[in-house]
C-alpha cells in the first residue's frame, strides 16, 4: 500500500508528499520520554552563551558519516534502494553547501551576500567502522533484518527511532549517522499520513541511541544529480537536517506564530512562521515588515531546494561552537583528506537555457590528451557521445549547447582520450529540464483558480479536494478551467484532472 501511494505521487504534476521537516515535533516527543534531555539542552545553551565563537579561519572540522540505507527488497538503484553514487553526490552537496562552494551561491540576494558564510565544516564517508575494520561508510540493509518493522505500520518518528535507529546506530561520539528511510509518516486523529515529512534530526543533548539524521529516500541527491524519482530534491533536506543536528533551529524558532521567539541567531531576521516555495526578494511578514525582509533563501527554511543557498555567519558560529561544547569528540574523529576530493579534474556544469541545455567546462591543455568526447544520456546506464572536442593550447573554457532535448533528467560526462590509447571519464553531472505545458496561472490563489495550457488539452473531468480529502467541487467536459474559489477557506487544496493526455494532480494554496 505504501509504495502504491508513492508511485501515484511521483507521477503527479505536483507532488503531494510532505514538504517539511518534523524535527520540532520529534523533539517534543523526545523531551516527554527523556527527562534528562531538557536539562541537557539548557546546559548546552548556557555553555554556548558563555563561550562565544572565536574566529579561527582555516581550521576546518571534518565529520565522518555513516549512511544507513534501508530498503524493502527492490533492486539496487530502484526506488528506496538508492545507489552509492547518489549517496556520494549527497555528501558532496552537503560539503558544497557548508563550505559556500554551492553552484547556486550567486543566487543569494545581494542584501544577504555579506552575511553568507563558509562554515569550514566538512563531511566524509567513514573509512573505519567502530571495530577498526575498513568500511565504505554506506550500509545497505533489508527491512526484514529488523524484527519489529512492518511496511504496513505507521512509520512515525518514534517508530523509526525505536525500530531503525536504536538497533543499528554507530557511536554518535565518533560519527554522524544518516538514515535513508522509505517513508516518514505522521499519526493523528486515528489515521496514518504516509510520506508526511522529508526528514528530521535530533538536537544535541538527547539520547545517544537515537542521535541521528533521518531522511526520506526521495530527498537524497544533489544539484548535479537530483533525486531520480523526485528531481525537485537537490540534497538540501540533508543540509537542513544536519543543521538541526548541529543545533540550528528554524528561523521562526520552535513555536511559529510569535515574533518574540526565534532561532537565537542575531543575523537571521525575526520570522512569524515557515516560508514555502520560492519568494522573490524582498519577502516580508508581520514580524519583519521593512528593510531586506526575511532570509527566505537560508538552508533552515522550508523553501524549495533550488531556492536555498546559504548559511549565515551567525549560524556558522553557532554550529562550530556547538561542536566544541556539545559534540567535542568529533574534533578527534579522523577522515582521510582525499575522500573530500570528490570534484573531477575538470570543472563541469550543465544548466538550462530556455529550452536548451548548456554544458560548460574548463580544462588546461595537455599534450598527453588526444581529444574529448561529450557523452549524454537520460539514464546513467545509457551514455553515448554527442560531441567531439579537440583541445588547443590557447583556450581553457569549452561549451556545448544541447538543442531542445525532451523534458526530464539529462546526464552528461566527458570521456578523455589520451595519446597512449587509454581513456578516462569525468564525474557525471545532471540537470532537470522542465517544459511545462499545463499549470496553474497564479498560485497561491485569491479568488479564481485558472489552469493554463500551452497545448490543446481536452479536460475530461476535474475535482478539487481539501487537505482532508473532502471533495469541494467536480465537473467534466470543459474547454477552459476557471473556478470561483473566493468562498473557500484559506489553506492547501488539490486539483485532480484527467485530460486526453492523461491524469494530473496540482497542489495549490488558497489565500
- 412 vs 377: CA distance, rounded Å: 7
Q: How many CB atoms lie within 10 A of CB 197?
A: 27
Residue 205: closest CA among 381, 27, 82: 27
71: helix, coil or strand? strand
Q: How many CB atoms lie within 10 A of CB 310?
A: 23
Task: Check residue 456 and give its pLDDT.
Answer: 67
Q: Cell 538552508 appears where?
A: 299
Q: How far is CA 272 from the centre of its chain?
A: 23
- 372 vs 86: CA distance, rounded Å: 25
Q: Cell 487544496 appears where?
A: 493
SS (H, E, C) 238-286: HHHHHHHHCCCCCCCCCCCCCCCCCCCCCCCCCCCCCCCCCCCCCCCCC
Quickly state the pLDDT bin for 102 (edges 50, 70, 90): very high
pLDDT of 57 higher than 70: no
Quote the cell numbers at residue 203. 538536537
pLDDT of 403 higher than 60: yes
Residue 53: closest CA among 267, 372, 227, 358: 267
Q: What is the DSSP letter of 447?
A: S
**Over the stretch 257-291, which tens digit does the pLDDT of each residue have?**
888 888 999 999 999 999 999 999 999 999 999 99
Percentage above 90 pLDDT, the chain: 51
Q: How many CB atoms lie within 10 A of CB 466?
A: 15
- Please indicate whether residue 10 or residue 215 has the higher confidence score (pLDDT): 215
For CA atoms 189, 195, 196, 200, give the dihedral sign. Answer: positive
Which stretch of 50-54, 364-368, 408-412, 482-486 has the lowest confidence by average pLDDT?
A: 50-54
Task: Check residue 243 and give its pLDDT.
Answer: 98
Quickly state the pLDDT bin for 344 (edges 50, 70, 90): very low
Mean pLDDT of 337-350: 48
**Over the stretch 129-174, which tens digit does the pLDDT of each residue have?**
888 788 899 999 999 999 999 988 999 999 999 999 999 999 999 9
Backbone angles phi, psi at 475, to 5 degrees: -175, -175
Backbone angles phi, psi at 323, to 5 degrees: -60, -40
Task: Check residue 337 and give its pLDDT.
Answer: 35
**Over the stretch 192-233, which tens digit does the pLDDT of each residue have?**
888 889 999 999 999 999 999 999 999 999 999 999 989 999
**CB 376, CB 368: distance < 8 Å:** no
What burial class does residue 502 get, using C-beta atoms within 10 Å of its C-beta: 0-12 exposed, 13-18 middle, 19+ buried? exposed
Domains and CATH numbers, the chain: 2-43+62-339 (3.40.390.10), 344-433 (2.60.40.10), 438-510 (2.60.40)
Q: Cell 534502494 appears where?
A: 81
16-41 burial, b at 16+ Cβ within 10 Å, e below that, comes to bbbbbbbbbbbbeebeeeeeebeebb
Active-site option among 241, 249, 283, 375: 241
- 185 vs 190: CA distance, rounded Å: 13
431: helix, coil or strand? strand
Is 241 an active-site residue?
A: yes
Residue 118: closest CA among 103, 139, 135, 102: 102
**Over the stretch 444-470, which tens digit does the pLDDT of each residue have?**
788 898 877 756 677 888 888 887 678
Extended beta strands in 295-339, E state: none
Quote the cell numbers at residue 469. 480529502
Amino acid at each position: 500500500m505504501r509504495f502504491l501511494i508513492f508511485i501515484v505521487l511521483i507521477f503527479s504534476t505536483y507532488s503531494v508528499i510532505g514538504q517539511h521537516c518534523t524535527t520540532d515535533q520529534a523533539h517534543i516527543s523526545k523531551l516527554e520520554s527523556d527527562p534528562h534531555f531538557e536539562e541537557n539542552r539548557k546546559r548546552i545553551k548556557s555553555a554556548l552563551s558563555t563561550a562565544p565563537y572565536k574566529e579561527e579561519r582555516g581550521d576546518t572540522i571534518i565529520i565522518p558519516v555513516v549512511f544507513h540505507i534501508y530498503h524493502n527488497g527492490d533492486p539496487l538503484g530502484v526506488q528506496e534502494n538508492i545507489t552509492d553514487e547518489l549517496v556520494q553526490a549527497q555528501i558532496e552537496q552537503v560539503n558544497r553547501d557548508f563550505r559556500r562552494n554551492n553552484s547556486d551561491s550567486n543566487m543569494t540576494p545581494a542584501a544577504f551576500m555579506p552575511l553568507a558564510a563558509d562554515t569550514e565544516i566538512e563531511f566524509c564517508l567513514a573509512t573505519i567502522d567502530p571495530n577498526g575494520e575498513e568500511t565504505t561508510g554506506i550500509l545497505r540493509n533489508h527491512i526484514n533484518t529488523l524484527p519489529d518493522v512492518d511496511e504496513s505500520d505507521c512509520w512515525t518518528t518514534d517508530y523509526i527511532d525505536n525500530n531503525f535507529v536504536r538497533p543499528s546506530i554507530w557511536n554518535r561520539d565518533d560519527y554522524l549517522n544518516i538514515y535513508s528511510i522509505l517513508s516518514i509518516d505522521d499519526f493523528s486523529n486515528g489515521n496514518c499520513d504516509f510520506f508526511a515529512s522529508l526528514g528530521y534530526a535530533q538536537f544535541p543533548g538527547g539520547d545517544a541511541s537515537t542521535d541521528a539524521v533521518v531522511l526520506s529516500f526521495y530527498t537524497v541527491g544533489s544539484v548535479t544529480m537530483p533525486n531520480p524519482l523526485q528531481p525537485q530534491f537537490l540534497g538540501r533536506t540533508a543540509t537542513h537536517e544536519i543543521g538541526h543536528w548541529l543545533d540550528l533551529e528554524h528561523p521562526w524558532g520552535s513555536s511559529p506564530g510569535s515574533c518574540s521567539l526565534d532561532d537565537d541567531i542575531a543575523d537571521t531576521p525575526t520570522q512569524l512562521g515557515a516560508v514555502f516555495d520560492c519568494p522573490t526578494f524582498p519577502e516580508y511578514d508581520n514580524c519583519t515588515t521593512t528593510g531586506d525582509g526575511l532570509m527566505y533563501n537560508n538552508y533552515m527554511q522550508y523553501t524549495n531546494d533550488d531556492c536555498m543557498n546559504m548559511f549565515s555567519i551567525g549560524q556558522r558560529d553557532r554550529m562550530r561552537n556547538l561542536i566544541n561544547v556539545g559534540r567535542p569528540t568529533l574534533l578527534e574523529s579522523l577522515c582521510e583528506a582525499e575522500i573530500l576530493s570528490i570534484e573531477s579534474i575538470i570543472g563541469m556544469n550543465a544548466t538550462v537555457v530556455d529550452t536548451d541545455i548548456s554544458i560548460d567546462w574548463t580544462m588546461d591543455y595537455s599534450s598527453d590528451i588526444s581529444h574529448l568526447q561529450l557523452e549524454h544520456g537520460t539514464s546513467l546506464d545509457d551514455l553515448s557521445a554527442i560531441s567531439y572536442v579537440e583541445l588547443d593550447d590557447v583556450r581553457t573554457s569549452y561549451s556545448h549547447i544541447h538543442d531542445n532535448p525532451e523534458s526530464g533528467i539529462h546526464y552528461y560526462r566527458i570521456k578523455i582520450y589520451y595519446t597512449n590509447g587509454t581513456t578516462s571519464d569525468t564525474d557525471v553531472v545532471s540537470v532537470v529540464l522542465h517544459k511545462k505545458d499545463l499549470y496553474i496561472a497564479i498560485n497561491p490563489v485569491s479568488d479564481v483558480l485558472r489552469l493554463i495550457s500551452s497545448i490543446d488539452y481536452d479536460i475530461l473531468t476535474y475535482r478539487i479536494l481539501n487537505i482532508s480529502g473532502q471533495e469541494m467541487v467536480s465537473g467534466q467536459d470543459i474547454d477552459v478551467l476557471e473556478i470561483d474559489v473566493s468562498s473557500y477557506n484559506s489553506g492547501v487544496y488539490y486539483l485532480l484532472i484527467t485530460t486526453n493526455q492523461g491524469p494530473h494532480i496540482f497542489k495549490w494554496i488558497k489565500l
